[in-house]
């Protein structure tokens, strides 16, 4: 099954929202310093996912390269979030890994 650009954009928007929620929740945790890398990657991931959705909607010639980078950042964010036991981190890890998979499928 071929992944469409619309599917990528939709999953990227879902991932952006989930990462923003995780970012916000991480800032409220007792040990924020321990969450620093998670917070950084949540922000990176949310930003790249927003760019993917924007570039996709305007059919930019750089969309494919951006989607490839999005897959890498989503994978890294998901891997980091998976290390933390918080529900918001576990949900973020799941959605990030799904987004990375959709992005890789589109680029392939």
Q: The domain spanning residue 34 has which CATH number?
A: 1.20.1270.360
Total of domains in the chain: 1
Q: Say whether pLDDT at 88 is over 80.
A: yes
CA-CA distances (angstroms) from residue 22 to 5, 47, 58, 68, 91? 25, 13, 28, 23, 8
Per-residue pLDDT tens over the stretch 29-55: 998 999 999 999 999 999 999 999 999
Q: What is the pTM of this model?
A: 0.95
The parent domain of residue 35 ranges over 5-107
DSSP string for 71-104: HHHHHHHHHHHHTS-SHHHHHHHHHHHHHHHHHH
Per-residue pLDDT tens over the stretch 3-29: 899 999 999 999 999 999 999 999 999
């Amino acid at each position: 099954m071929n992944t469409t650009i619309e599917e990528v954009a939709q999953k990227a928007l879902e991932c952006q929202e989930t990462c923003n929620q995780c970012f916000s929740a991480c800032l409220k945790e007792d040990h924020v310093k321990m969450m620093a890398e998670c917070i950084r990657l949540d922000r990176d991931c949310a930003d790249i996912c927003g760019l993917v959705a924007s570039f996709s909607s305007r059919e930019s010639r750089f969309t494919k390269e951006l989607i490839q980078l999005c897959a890498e950042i989503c994978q890294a964010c998901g891997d980091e979030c998976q290390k933390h036991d918080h529900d918001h981190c576990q949900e973020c890890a799941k959605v990030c890994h799904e987004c990375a998979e959709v992005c890789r499928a589109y680029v392939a």
